[in-house]
Amino acid sequence: MARILIVDDSYFMRMVLRSMLKREKHEVLEAEDGDKAVSLYRENRPELVTLDITMPVKDGIEAAREILEEDPSAKIIMVTALGQESIMKKAISLGIREFVVKPFTTERVREAVNRILK
């Protein structure tokens, strides 16, 4: 399947997403902040990145901006909490069109991943 980079400062959230994606036979890479996400993206060129918005060091919006500047064809799903509408607008202005809202279901993640990888 695809190589997917999961970026979230919460180990638990990375573990949940990792489990979901591995069940779908995806290869999974992980980063706990936006800085590491950009580095791992450069080194590995995954087919998809899931980015949490609120993280230390570098947030998901800034990481998305850097990844998209380097690779405008990068496929990114933003993972957000309810109530982050203004931040979601920033993501949309970057060209991000896929969002998964926490708490999410396996089916919602599967749909988002399949839609963006097509």
Phi-psi region of 66 (alpha: psi -120 to 50; beta: other; left: phi over 0): alpha
* Residue 25 DSSP symbol: T
What is the Cα–Cα distance from 75 to 15, expressed in whole angstroms?
Answer: 21
87 vs 20, residue with greater confidence: 20
Q: Look at residue 102 and tell me whether its pLDDT is greater than 90.
A: no
CATH of domain 3-117: 3.40.50.2300
Instruction: Give the chain's mean pLDDT.
Output: 92
pTM: 0.93
Span 56-70, pLDDT tens digits: 889 999 999 999 999
* Residue 62 DSSP symbol: H
